[in-house]
Amino acid sequence: MWTLRVDNLEKTYDDGATWANNGISLSVQSGEVFGLLGPNGAGKSTLVKQIIGLLMPSNGSITLGDVDLVTDPDYARQLCSYLPQAPMPITAFKVREAIDIAGMIRGGSRPEVQKRRDQLIEILQLEEWRDTLGTNLSGGVKRLVGFAMAVVEPAPIVILDEPTNDVDPLRRRLLWQVVRDLGERGSGVILVTHNVLEAEKSVDRLAIIDEGKLIAEGTPSSLKNDDRGSLRLQLMLPPGSRTPPLPSYIGENVRVGNNVVGVIPETYAAEGIAWAQGLMTEGIADEYALGATTLEDVYVRLTGERSATT
């Protein structure tokens, strides 16, 4: 078993004037799926690039087991495989070729890589594109091929940046199955995403980063602890309308587009429903929904309007 430890990591630009990462500390165990969440520009990519040896930290340390990844970036690249958010450069590759070469560059032997490639093609249901050139693939299939390239020869740390972008719902499930399998094989998986609901279902633990700082870390349920005994009241307002005055029992709230989402104590559920129905009757709201709080509520509460607008 090994642990990736990021300790008090700092990354500054412009001679220290701009902080991309500000004292981030976290750890990822082997076998764990760890979510890294945060709005655009929060510092997630900067953190990842320091782990894989593309950026030099201004301060702090990154270790995997006994290996100092900062002082040995060549080893860091061997120990961490990476699926970037950008499309993979596989336009002229057949699907099987792209996966094979990626696996062999990652140190796999040809027979092992080919066996695992066939398994991935089958699990991700990519058989019909096996010999198709990348230029003829849809965005979602290309994404899955990129994912297969990152995991065909599993590294101790696998970093996946928005792996499900453009992927259809069925294959998303298949992809998450492979991610869980990676954990069982011993890899620590870092999932970088904006998709909080998907992360909630897929990760063991997660960290939320905002403006370069780690603002929360824990399991999805521990992060929702503060909201226990609360409900989520969502009002859908007509486009362009103002947010109506909110009753005092609605605590933290945020407006995202035409939706106002607030947290209310369970004991105020009946009042909340009556109030929302009243707004609908008066034409102030189009719809409302009352339900259990989600990780997304926690995320929006913690990152505030910045994430609501990105």
List phi, psi (to 5°) of 45: -65, -40
In the complex, the smallest distance separating the C-beta of residue 15 from another protein, rounded to whole angstroms, is 13
Q: What is the 3-state secondary structure (H, E, C) of 250-298?
A: CCCEEEECCEEEEEEEHHHHHHHHHHHHHHHHCCCCCEEEEEECCHHHH
Count Cβ atoms below 10 Å from residue 134 Cβ, excluding itself: 21
Among 23, 41, 104, 218, binds another protein (CB under 8 A): 104
In the complex, the smallest distance separating the C-beta of residue 306 from another protein, rounded to whole angstroms, is 23
Question: Is 75 near another protein (CB under 8 A)?
Answer: yes
* Binding letters toward another protein, positions 179-218, x by CB under 8 A: ------xxx-------------------------------
Question: Is 86 near another protein (CB under 8 A)?
Answer: yes
What distance in Å separates the CA atoms of residue 181 and residue 183, rounded to the nearest whole number?
A: 5
Q: Which is nearer to another protein, 47 or 208 (CB)?
A: 47
In the complex, the smallest distance separating the C-beta of residue 86 from another protein, rounded to whole angstroms, is 3
Q: Which stretch binds another protein (CB under 8 A): 76-84, 210-218, 266-274, 298-306?
A: 76-84
In the complex, the smallest distance separating the C-beta of residue 155 from another protein, rounded to whole angstroms, is 6
Question: Is 88 near another protein (CB under 8 A)?
Answer: yes
Question: Is 87 near another protein (CB under 8 A)?
Answer: yes
Question: Is 64 near another protein (CB under 8 A)?
Answer: yes
Question: Is 82 near another protein (CB under 8 A)?
Answer: yes
Q: Which stretch binds another protein (CB under 8 A): 104-112, 203-211, 262-270, 298-306?
A: 104-112
Among 34, 37, 96, 106, binds another protein (CB under 8 A): 106
Instruction: Give contact residues for another protein (rule: CB under 8 A).
Output: 1-2, 30, 49, 52-56, 64-67, 72-75, 77-82, 84-89, 91-93, 97, 101, 104-108, 112, 133, 135, 153-156, 185-187
